[in-house]
Structure formats: structure tokens, C-alpha cells
Amino acid sequence: MLQAKKLCKRYDDKSALKDLCLSVKPGEIFCLLGQNGAGKTTTINLFLGLLTPTSGEALIDNVSVSDANFNRSSIAYIPETVELYGSLSGLENLDFFSRLAGFTYTKKELDQFLKQANLQEESYHKKLGTYSKGMRQKVGIAIALSKNASYILMDEPTSGLDPKASVEFAKTCKELSANGVGIFMATHDIFNAVNIGSRIGIMKEGSLIHTTETSKITAQELQDLYIKTI
């Protein structure tokens, strides 16, 4: 599983993250809520190995992400804005980035990844510069699938999506979950957190203040708790 064990990050005299303890099991979707500066992106960057913890550990399947033996293809990252090559098609971007990760696939296999990510087939060969944000995210998800990633980290993935794209994104996440992929999502979107997530955490000033299962809370109750917490 994906685990944070007393994970801390300090910058001089400021704590960005304080003794964070959480876990995400295979097939689970953990949505982390919090204001800007609460520590959500810091948490993601620690799991990606882009930051070094001051103390504690970020682990994937019991291996520290800072370990030389850590298999980086086991995790994938989808940022708020997926940066891909606009002059290439969705299929060409997928082929390029999967090869960059050390995987070579046939066109049929690449098509299957895009299909799993719910990208419309007529868009496979269109230049990415013509894609909407939601379509770009689907290519990002297809790239994660091509890496055989066990866990996908997402930072504000529903920001700027229209209602139709949000519904499609939720469907894709639930399909990934059903196939055993664990998802760790930093978000401001309370409704989608309840709709998509298995569990929800609320972070404030670098600390995880509340965690709850989505089956035990409504969107209104979560909103009330969130406002009370922050």
C-alpha cells in the first residue's frame, strides 16, 4: 500500500507537514481536502520523491520512495494541468511517454489504454493542442495505465472541468479502483470527493485533522465539517 509514516517537512522554522500518517490500499481512492498551503501538494511531492522529508517515510509497498531500489513505474502523477506535446496526437503522446518509461507497445495496445481511459476513439489521432482539459487528463491516465502503475497521485484533477467532464472523470476513477489501482487525490472539490472517494481526509496547516469513509458522510455534512475545521 501507499503509506506515510510520521512524515514531516520543514523549511527553516516553518512546518509544511507535521507527522503525517495515512495509508491508501490497492483499489482505494483517498481524497485529501484542505486550503491552499495546507500541505496537500507537499505530500504528493514527497511521494513522488521530488522533496526529501525532514523526518518520517513515504512508502510504496513497504519500500521508501527515496530507496535506490524503489520502482518508480509503480506510481504515476496527474497534475492539475497535464503537460503533453500539443503538436503530437493523443496516441503519439502515449507512445512517446510509455517508451520514455521503458515500455514498448503495439498500436492495438496503445488504443486499448486510451479506451480504458475513456478517450473518444475519434480523438486518438487528433493533435493534443485541440484537446480540452478533460481529454488531456484522459491521455495522462492512459500513460499511467501504460506504466502499469499501482498508484496514481492526482493534484486538483477536477479543477476547471465542466460537469460532463467531471462525470466522465469520476467514472474513469471508479473503473481504475475496480481494477485495483490506488488513487491519492488532493482536491478542493467536496462534491467530487464524496462522489469519487472511498475515504476522505481534511488537512490543516500541515496536519491531518479528520479522516472519514465516504459511505458515512454526505456532501453537506462534509462541507459543514470542512468549514468548521479550516
Does residue 34 form part of some domain? no
Question: Please, what are the averages of pLDDT over each run of 10 residues along the chain (230 residues)?
Answer: 95 91 95 92 94 94 89 87 91 95 94 92 95 90 90 89 85 91 93 92 94 93 91
Q: What CA–CA distance (Å, rounded) separates 157 from 134?
A: 9
Does residue 88 form part of some domain? yes
**Cβ atoms of 189 and 155 closer than 8 Å:** no
CATH classification of the domain holding 75:
3.40.50.300
Q: What CA–CA distance (Å, rounded) separates 23 from 108?
A: 35
Does residue 230 form part of some domain? no
Q: Which residues, other chains included, contact 58 with Cβ-Cβ below 8 Å and sequence gap of 6+?
A: 3, 4, 7, 46, 47, 49, 64, 65, 66
Q: Which domain holds residue 163?
A: 71-181
Side chain identity, residue 22: L
Task: Please tell me the total count of domains within the chain.
Answer: 1
Q: What CA–CA distance (Å, rounded) separates 123 from 91?
A: 9
Does residue 7 form part of some domain? no
Residues 16-61 pLDDT 10s: 999 999 999 999 999 999 998 899 999 999 999 999 999 999 999 9
Does residue 127 form part of some domain? yes
**Cβ atoms of 30 and 201 closer than 8 Å:** yes
SS3 23: strand
pLDDT of residue 45: 94
Q: What CA–CA distance (Å, rounded) separates 59 from 14?
A: 24
- β-pair partners for 8: 55
Q: What CA–CA distance (Å, rounded) separates 43 from 29?
A: 16
pLDDT of residue 42: 94
Q: What CA–CA distance (Å, rounded) separates 144 from 111?
A: 14
Does residue 90 form part of some domain? yes
